[in-house]
Amino acid sequence: MEDYSHILTHLGEDRNQVLGAVNPPIYYSSNFAFNTVAEMRHALTHEMDVPFYTRGHNPTVAVLRKKLAALEKAEECLLFGSGSAAMAAAVMSQVQQGDHVVCVQKPYSWTGKLLVKLLSRYGVSHTFIDGSEATNYEAAIQENTKLLILESPNSMTFELQDLPAVAAIAKKHGIRTICDNSYASPINQNPIEMGIDIVIHSATKYLSGHSDVIAGALCTSREIAEKIFQSEYMTIGAILSPHDAWLLMRGIRTLSLRMQRIAETTPKIVEYLAAHPLVDKVYYPFLTDNPQHDLAKKQMKQAGGQFSIELKVDSIDKVDAFCNALQTFLMACSWGGYESLIFPISTLYQSANYAETTLPWNFIRFYVGLEEAAYLIADLEQAFDGIS
């Protein structure tokens, strides 16, 4: 296991600058004042790196930028008010009218909507492909393709893409790549090391880890980050507030500890469910009979806490009864916090999203938080008892 102690505890924190404060103060200031024209001129021409105006640079946010860049083995990180804002800025920075994007099928819902509903209005077209074969990306490349989008593993069914293989295809064609790395967190997978150009995180999930902040991160080279800063970042202005950066910093102190704990607990829950007579199918990259198990072991260091199951029951009422009976697993969207969760697909069945999902009615997405495995299994057991 890699040692993250320095990054999580000290990197980016110049404590001499802040009266020795152990934890970085929240710089709640929109603007910063200068003594001389020369000083102000310097700040204005280095807005990405020094305090001038908080939409560009803020000292509290800056500490976190350094930590996240280091965690992702990137030169730079820009922080956003949500993961969706980070993804939108990344994608928009790489395309213009007439361009084409190849994206893995079934990406995070709002990544899909960015392509289908928003960028299509500005003359940017797209193709969704089955990403389980890297060659499918190459086959979909057109003359005007500028960008390949990956999400490995993706949400809900957790299909992987071979990151080095897709990155190599992109490089051969002079095309940029973006990978949503929210599932794995920077602890379990580092796409930049595998040749990906831009890594996106919903920092709302594992990075925050406490179900209290909505935030996003974009990690990339200095060159790409500078371009995004001068354009999408400053123009759209979807920044992370200093207070939310501070909360995120509080969460990130324990990131490697939490990921370690989750990697130990989740396989126990998965094994219990995989062996249960009322479970039909388990979707989990680290299950040995998963067709992408070898790829998962090759490019991810350890397992995350998300997996899905299909219940072996004959009615949606039984699915609902099972979910309603769970007490310690909360029923909610999102994941990555301290609390274990379920997201039953049956909740979509009366909503407008029903038409958009290809997932079966007996499908339940799980997230394992920081509780003890036995405590969670006891909850599952009593819920199964109620429907058998």
Binding-site ranges for ligand PLP (CB under 6 A): 82-84, 108, 151, 155, 180, 182, 202, 204-205, 214, 216
Which CB, 151 or 339, lies closer to ligand PLP? Answer: 151
Q: 362-365 long-range contacts, Cβ below 8 Å, gap at least 24?
A: 362/280, 362/310, 362/311, 362/312, 362/313, 362/316, 362/319, 363/156, 363/308, 363/309, 363/310, 364/308, 364/309, 364/310, 364/311, 364/319, 364/323, 365/155, 365/156, 365/306, 365/307, 365/308
317-348 burial: b if 16+ Cβ within 10 Å, else e: ebbbebbebbeebeeeeebbbebbbbbbbbbb
What tokens were used for 118? 């928003």
Which CB, 108 or 283, lies closer to ligand PLP? Answer: 108
State the minimum distance, in angstroms, from the CB of residue 151 to ligand PLP: 6
State the minimum distance, in angstroms, from the CB of residue 310 to ligand PLP: 21
Length of the chain: 388
Which CB, 113 or 268, lies closer to ligand PLP? Answer: 113
Which CB, 54 or 185, lies closer to ligand PLP? Answer: 185
77 Cβ contact list (under 8 Å, min separation 6): 64, 65, 66, 68, 69, 217, 218, 219, 225
Which CB, 22 or 333, lies closer to ligand PLP? Answer: 333
- Angle 378-379-385 from CA coordinates, rounded to 5°: 90
State the minimum distance, in angstroms, from the CB of residue 325 to ligand PLP: 26
- For the four alpha carbons of 330, 334, 338 and 341, in that order, the dihedral sign comes to positive
State the minimum distance, in angstroms, from the CB of residue 108 to ligand PLP: 4
Beta strands in 134-180 (DSSP E): 145-151, 176-180
Which residue in the shown chain puts its C-beta closest to ligand PLP? Answer: 83
State the minimum distance, in angstroms, from the CB of residue 14 to ligand PLP: 29
State the minimum distance, in angstroms, from the CB of residue 194 to ligand PLP: 18
State the minimum distance, in angstroms, from the CB of residue 150 to ligand PLP: 11
Which CB, 138 or 244, lies closer to ligand PLP? Answer: 244
Which CB, 54 or 202, lies closer to ligand PLP? Answer: 202
